[in-house]
Structure 1
Amino acid sequence: MRIAVFGTGGAGGYFGAQLAIAGEDVVFIARGDHLRAIKSTGLRLETPSGETAIRATATDQPAEIGHVDAVLVGVKAWQVAAAASAIRPLVGPDTVVVPLQNGVEAAGELAAVLGPATLGGLCGTLSFVAGPGHIRSVGGQNYIKFGERDNQPTERVRRLRDCFAHAKISVEVPADIAKALWDKFLMVTSFGGVGAITRAPIGVTRAVPETRRLLEQCVQEAMAVAKARGIPMAETTVSDTMKFYDGLPTNGTTSLQRDIVDGKMSELDYWNGAVVRLGREAAVPTPTNEFIYDCLLPHELRARGKIEFS
């Protein structure tokens, strides 16, 4: 398949690299020093099992590429709406567009511009940009899930699933993609929010009783919001999520935590902020997520140049 990775960050870079290694025709869309490094020496993928350099086409001009079979959208959540318009030249009559963002709103934003080409999608990977042209994965479970937004089985979804399976990437087409999105959403927002305010990796936050309680409270709140919005969440969701945390590498952190610590713009409004906002819409209280959001907001506003710290 011909696959465009729009936004070669941790998620897009990791999955795109694995697909390229498996022989798929992958085009990376990046910018700045990251793009220049990929064009010059290739994309370097570092995992616990070793390093691989991938030679692949890279550009910052999607119109140069033409139609592709699939687009993996790896930009930050606040960039999705703008990315949708830039993705237009890549989308033909048979193209599928798969959002990889941590959130529950990206598919709707893409579909508003790109229509039925858009699938529901999510992924899991503890990967990040370690430097120009360099993606580092610290291990743990790497997976991708996608499906038609109405959950109907289609040939285009089957074909894309087979492509990922051939690349030995854990891939699933969930029976209910909205439920799968919320399962991931409540996991990552709790993990990310608690990690960002404590500045500690998951090995610490899950082991200290007080922060473990915060994790569980965040998960419970997000689950309540999901159920109020008609998402068929399993009754074991909270305990299953805590077990998942217990299996993560001790040094695991989220992109939200890393961005906040580094003084960068983050997806705060689309993670804990979204739990609070969607909770208000459904008349569900979310005090723990609201506390986390309120505490982190000054750092987010400073990163966006809206306030200064004296």
Structure 2
Amino acid sequence: MKVAVLGAGAIGAYVGAALHRAGVEVHLIARGPHLEAIRKSGVMVLSPRGDFVAHPHATDDPSEVGPVDHVFLGLKANHYAASGPMIKPLLHEATSVIAAQNGIPWWYFHGLKGPYEGYRIESVDPGGTVTAALPLHRAVGCVVYAATEIERPGVIRHYEGTRFSIGEPSGEPTARCAEFSEAMVAGGLKCPVETDLRRDVWIKLMGNIAFNPISALARATMAGICRHDGARELVRSMMTETVDVARRVGCDPGISIERRLRGAEKAGEHKTSTLQDLEKGKPLELDVLLAAVVELADLTGADVPTLRAIHAVSDLLNENLVRAV
């Protein structure tokens, strides 16, 4: 099996290192000092589960890699639309694209029976540009339950969580999902193949939609937000509105808000990926988290005043960041 990791950042390099440890032919596509460090010394993973070093091939040129069986997409969702030229050299007729993204994926309504089947979420797939780069028939969803960070170039700090749930938009248990899952498990990770990955999407989103923008606006860790009574109540309100939208599009996350809050609190003094991006001066991945759910609220008639307010101020923050870049 041949796998390319496009966007070998904190999550991508962690997955690539684990797959390489399992004996998979892995090619990391990265850039800058991170790429140079990997070429020189490999990927060092520092984890409470045990440190290790892997030495997969690394490059900034996908044409060096050629067609692969699976592309693990570690890019932020706001880079998907522009990823076509990087993806194209990696594809053969049956290549899958396993997109490890937060928020609502571009494939969400693909093959989903019901009143919204085939609906394109404009805030996620503006003008169909993401679908053009990442054709729907190649899409395999992936919901990440792992916290990682690039501690320094070539060094990945793994804090907690090893589950990478995957699944077809159709819910079918396909051979391509089974093959990738087996390799991930052989590398020491959990990779269940779900028949209803959309439920996982919403469970993860219940946390991301609240903690990610609030962490950026308040410069706070997940535990810090949970400790503050007012912020905790704000999170609870955002989660309640999010569950309402999920149910209106036919998915019940099936988890209580209090349980979801406790799960987030266990992450401790962890900085969300949005806060990490803010501190690095990078644009924030907010469209798939907040804008998408507000759009779905408009589609279904849900009342989401808290989500709208947080979206407005976090979008303003992001606009200021983009201008500064």
Q: TM-score w.r.t. structure 2 length?
A: 0.86
Between stretches 49-58 and 215-224, larger displacement belongs to 49-58
Separation in 1, partners of 2:38, 2:107: 28
**Is 1:148 aligned to residue 137 of structure 2?**
no
| Pairing 1:14-93 to 2, within 5 Å after superposition | 14-49=14-49, 51-93=51-93
For each residue in 1:145-203, what CA deviation from the matched residue of structure 2 results, as whole angstroms up to 9, or x when unmatched?
Answer: 11111001112211111111111201111221122212212222212122222222122
Separation in 2, partners of 1:206, 1:56: 39
Quote how far apart the aligned CAs of 1:111 are.
Answer: 5.0
Separation in 1, partners of 2:151, 2:298: 37
Amino acid of the structure 2 residue aligned with 1:125: A
Matching residue within 251, 257, 260 for 1:238: 257
| Alignment correspondent of 1:169 | 189
Q: Is the 8 A contact 2:73 2:98 kept in 1?
A: yes
Q: Is the 8 A contact 2:17 2:55 kept in 1?
A: no
Separation in 2, partners of 1:72, 1:26: 10
| Alignment correspondent of 2:276 | 258
Quote how far apart the aligned CAs of 1:270 are.
Answer: 2.2
Q: Is the 8 A contact 1:121 1:147 kept in 2?
A: yes
| Pairing 1:158-237 to 2, within 5 Å after superposition | 158-234=178-254, 236-237=255-256
For the aligned residue pairs, the C-alpha RMSD in angstroms reads 2.1
| Alignment correspondent of 1:118 | 139
Quote how far apart the aligned CAs of 1:12 are.
Answer: 0.8
Q: Is the 8 A contact 2:217 2:314 kept in 1?
A: yes
Q: Is the 8 A contact 2:107 2:136 kept in 1?
A: no
Separation in 2, partners of 1:215, 1:86: 37
Separation in 2, partners of 1:111, 1:148: 16
Amino acid of the structure 2 residue aligned with 1:246: E
Separation in 2, partners of 1:288, 1:260: 22
Quote how far apart the aligned CAs of 1:85 are.
Answer: 4.2
Aligned length: 304
Separation in 2, partners of 1:225, 1:124: 22
Partner secondary structure for residue 300 of structure 1: helix
Q: Is the 8 A contact 1:98 1:119 kept in 2?
A: yes
> Structure 2: which 5+ runs fail to align?
109-124
Partner secondary structure for residue 82 of structure 1: coil
For each residue in 1:128-159, what CA deviation from the matched residue of structure 2 results, as whole angstroms up to 9, or x when unmatched?
Answer: 2222222222x222210111110011122111
Amino acid of the structure 1 residue aligned with 2:265: D
Separation in 2, partners of 1:299, 1:209: 24
Separation in 2, partners of 1:120, 1:126: 18
Matching residue within 115, 119, 133 for 2:154: 133
Quote how far apart the aligned CAs of 1:127 are.
Answer: 0.8
Q: Is the 8 A contact 2:148 2:160 kept in 1?
A: no
For each residue in 1:192-224, what CA deviation from the matched residue of structure 2 results, as whole angstroms up to 9, or x when unmatched?
Answer: 122222222122211222111111111111111
| Alignment correspondent of 2:118 | none
Quote how far apart the aligned CAs of 1:76 are.
Answer: 1.0
Quote how far apart the aligned CAs of 1:49 are.
Answer: 4.7
Q: Is the 8 A contact 1:3 1:71 kept in 2?
A: yes
Quote how far apart the aligned CAs of 1:306 are.
Answer: 6.7
> Structure 1: which 5+ runs fail to align?
none
Partner secondary structure for residue 140 of structure 1: strand
For each residue in 1:65-97, what CA deviation from the matched residue of structure 2 results, as whole angstroms up to 9, or x when unmatched?
Answer: 112121110111110122144212212233221
Identity across matched positions, percent: 28
Quote how far apart the aligned CAs of 1:276 are.
Answer: 2.2
